[in-house]
Amino acid sequence: MATAPSTAAAAGLPWGPRALIRRARSGDEIARLITLIFALVVVVIAVLLVYQLWTNSAEARHRFGLSFFWNTTWDPVAGQFGALTFVYGTLVTSALGLLIAVPLGLGAAIFLAELAPRRLSDNLTFLIDLLAAVPSVIYGLLGVFILVPLMRTEIQPALKRTLGFTFLFRGPEYGIGLLTAGLVLAIMIVPFIISVSREVLLAVPGDQREAALALGATRWEATWRAVVPYARTGIMGSIFLALARALGETMAVTMVIGNNPTISPSLFSPGYSIAAVLANEFSEATGNLYLSALVELGLVLFLLTFVLNGLARLLILVTTGRGSVERT
Amino acid sequence: MNLRTLWRKSVNIIMLSLTGLCALVAVSVLFFILGYLVYHGGRDVNWDFFTKLPKPVGETGGGMANAIVGSGKLLFLAALFGIPVGLLGGVYLAEFGGHAVPFVVRYTADLLNGVPSIVIGIFAYALVVMPVHHFSTLAGGFALGVMMIPIVLRSTEEFLHAVPRSMREGAMALGASKWRTISSVVLPAASRGILTAALLALARVAGETAPLLFTAFGNRFWSPGWSQPISSLPVMIYTYAVGPYEDWHQQAWAAGLVLLGLVLVTNIVVRTLLSRGASPQRS
């Protein structure tokens, strides 16, 4: 609102009470005010969101303080709430997801941006975008009925035979568990990594490529040594974006992680994630302390994704040189 | 020297084919998903599925008529809340904004877009469910609407920016006021893009499960009015998939196929329309 006089002056419009009335009558000021109100609704919602999370988790925050984060006991009956097992499950599954999704997504993005003919690249990107639109409960459905049996009968025994000497692949093969959840997450976040990385790679100036090729580099060397390093920050951005998605992903993880609050070094063991415990227990939480402990978990999740998204946006902005800030 | 060239050339070929393989794997996931859903759920998408209520627990048969209507009602509410806010907010950002306010609005919209959907569910629970002490259609619609706002807002802004400056200037030169210019020249020119963006946003929230779990909750019967718990397709898929009955699993597959079909068809139609018409500035 403070900018109204300056824009009017800049445009050479008359500025004064009478002119103001005239402009108001023409509807411009009214339209401006109405649209401004609707734009501010967005800000109000965000502020309310933070406020609700903060106040509704007050009881748990006061009662447990920081010990909430290193306490592993989650016992609603005894009124003991510690989040460590859930934080552990969330971090491990997300890390696993990234470990699988980053090479796959980056490889595919390189193919789409650097190698594939434009038409093929556009068509494949179309399919990738469709993949990003598949609801997460569908991934969960396929996870439960296709991936879990496959893990139990084929993949986990094979892993145990070959890599069983490490502590990571031990224990009974349930099918469900941290590894399966990580795998589902990987499949879900690959489309995001691909589409953002592709855009970032396409934004790399052609000179970069041509200079490397002119020096005698092979196509791969030009891509890997000249193009990818140039786009490095943007690619990091796409990875952070994907990580934020993985951390907050609820349904697919809830359906395959096993929902068992334990911390075990084996990736075969069932686990529990922040989002999964919210999905399972929130609607039946009895008592204020229980509820506020759950809301505090939501607050933690919110803060994690908030920081990651902010970083991601900054990195992508730096590389592509366009984005939310410059688009006025 | 020759050996080194050979080595570099083979690395080149191997790595390039590997990237192709990555792309192939990524894309084939879509066909796997579709294939499995059609294979397992195709048989059970029949007349009963669309017209009958769920049978009592333990009996086989029945359908998901209430969940389909429920999803429709929730989406209607979401659109009612999300589209006006997103659209008019987007008009402000693109047409009236100065510097400070649009920056803040854009920033919060991006922030809101990144909030995990389950956290949106907690928000809607605290704001709508807690004061009245029961789950309701309204709360579910509100949660989905909140998720739609940032998408509609940012795409409205983008499509408005894509309208050529000369059109605005033409209208202004004819003596139209700014609002007149926007409402009868700029918005109609961008309307197709905005409409498709709104549809994409609807398709996105149509598949959301997490924010509905403790707002709309679920219901095995019809839910008249707007203040009772209501069933929806995604929540039904979840409940049936993790439930213990074979018949439920079959119906979960069928519901999954219907939901994915709706989402994919909307996406395909909208995206094809978009790529044909005036698209926003993309690379």
pLDDT given at position B116:
94
3 state DSSP class of A306 = helix
The C-alpha of B178 sits at a distance from chain A's nearest C-alpha, in angstroms, of: 6
Which residues on A lie below 8 Å from B87 (Cβ)?
A: 38
Residue B224 CB partners (closer than 8 Å, separation 6+)? none
Secondary structure tally for chain B: helices H, strands E: 12, 0
Q: Which tokens in the block code for residue A46? A: 């965000």
Phi, psi of A74 (to 5 degrees): -125, 90
pLDDT given at position B218:
87
Q: What is the pLDDT of residues A182-232, one digit of tens each?
A: 999 999 999 999 999 999 999 999 898 999 999 999 999 999 999 999 998
The C-alpha of B267 sits at a distance from chain A's nearest C-alpha, in angstroms, of: 7
What is the pLDDT averaged over residues A10-31?
Answer: 66
ipTM: 0.91
Residue A11 pLDDT exceeds 70: no
Q: Select from A103, A108, A244 the Cβ nearest to the Cβ of B23.
A: A108
Q: Select from A35, A36, A140 the Cβ nearest to the Cβ of B241.
A: A140
**Residues A36, B101: C-beta atoms closer than 8 Å:** yes
B81 lies within 8 A of chain A by CB = no
pLDDT given at position B268:
93
Residue for token pair 């790595």: B15
Residues 205-264 of B with CB under 8 A from A: 206-210, 213-214, 217, 234, 237-238, 241-242, 249, 252-253, 256, 259-260, 263-264
Residue A14 pLDDT exceeds 80: no
CA angle B81, B87, B88 (to 5 degrees): 95
**Residues A46, B259: C-beta atoms closer than 8 Å:** no
**Residues B26, A128: C-beta atoms closer than 8 Å:** yes
Q: Is residue A209 part of a domain?
A: yes
Interface test with A, best of B4, B9, B29 (most A CBs within 10 A): B29
- Dist. CA A63–CA A80, nearest whole Å: 10
Arithmetic mean of pLDDT over chain A: 87
Torsion of CA B113, B117, B123, B125, to 10 degrees: 150
Residue A21 pLDDT exceeds 80: no
% of chain A beyond a pLDDT of 70 = 90
Nearest to B171 by CA among B186, B188, B151, B154: B186
Q: Select from A45, A53, A146 the Cβ nearest to the Cβ of B146.
A: A45
| Cβ atoms of residues A34 and B88 within 8 Å | yes
CATH code of A149's domain: 1.10.3720.10
Domain regions of chain B by residue span: 67-276
Task: Give the 3-state DSSP-derived string for A139-180, with helices as H, strands as E and coil as C.
Answer: HHHHHHHHHHHHHHHHHHHHHHHHHCCCCCCCCCCCCCCHHH
Residue for token pair 């100065």: B98
Q: How confident is the model at residue A327 (pLDDT cuts 50, 70, 90)?
A: very low
Q: How confident is the model at residue A24 (pLDDT cuts 50, 70, 90)?
A: low
What is the pTM assigned to this prediction? 0.89
pLDDT given at position B281:
43
CA distances from A30 to A44, B82, B186, B188, B209 (A): 21, 22, 18, 20, 39
Q: How confident is the model at residue A323 (pLDDT cuts 50, 70, 90)?
A: very low
Q: Which residues of A295-319 are buried (b: 16+ CB within 10 A; e: fewer)?
A: bbbbbbbbebbbebbbbbbebbbeb
3 state DSSP class of A80 = strand
Residues 295-324 of A with CB under 8 A from B: 295, 298, 301-302, 305-306, 308-310, 313, 324
Which residues on A lie below 8 Å from B23 (Cβ)?
A: 107-108, 111-112, 116, 124, 194
CATH number of B67-276: 1.10.3720.10
Residues in chain B predicted with pLDDT less than 50, given as ranges, are: 278-283
Q: Which tokens in the block code for residue B251? A: 């119906």
pLDDT given at position A4:
45
Residue A19 pLDDT exceeds 80: no
Q: How confident is the model at residue A23 (pLDDT cuts 50, 70, 90)?
A: low
Chain A residue at shortest CA distance from B107: A324
% of chain B beyond a pLDDT of 70 = 97
Residue A306 pLDDT exceeds 60: yes
Q: How confident is the model at residue A165 (pLDDT cuts 50, 70, 90)?
A: confident
**Residues B114, A306: C-beta atoms closer than 8 Å:** yes
CA distances from B155 to A324, B94, B256 (A): 12, 10, 28
pLDDT given at position B212:
94
Residues 17-56 of B with CB under 8 A from A: 18-23, 25-27, 29-30, 32-33, 36-37, 40
Q: Which tokens in the block code for residue A238? A: 């796409």
Higher pLDDT among residues A285 and A15, named by residue? A285
Which residues on B lie below 8 Å from A200 (Cβ)?
A: none
The C-alpha of A49 sits at a distance from chain B's nearest C-alpha, in angstroms, of: 6
Q: Select from A105, A112, A306 the Cβ nearest to the Cβ of B111.
A: A306
Q: Which tokens in the block code for residue A293? A: 């402990």
Domain with A149 in it: 86-320
Q: What is the pLDDT of residues A38-73, one digit of tens each?
A: 999 999 999 999 999 999 999 999 999 888 988 888
Q: What share of chain B is helix, strand, coil (3-state, %, to 5)?
A: 75, 0, 20
Which residues on A lie below 8 Å from B104 (Cβ)?
A: 43
Q: How confident is the model at residue A328 (pLDDT cuts 50, 70, 90)?
A: very low
The C-alpha of B43 sits at a distance from chain A's nearest C-alpha, in angstroms, of: 17
- Dist. CA B14–CA B22, nearest whole Å: 12
Query: In total, how many domains does chain A have?
Result: 1
- Dist. CA A194–CA A200, nearest whole Å: 10
Chain B residue at shortest CA distance from A28: B179
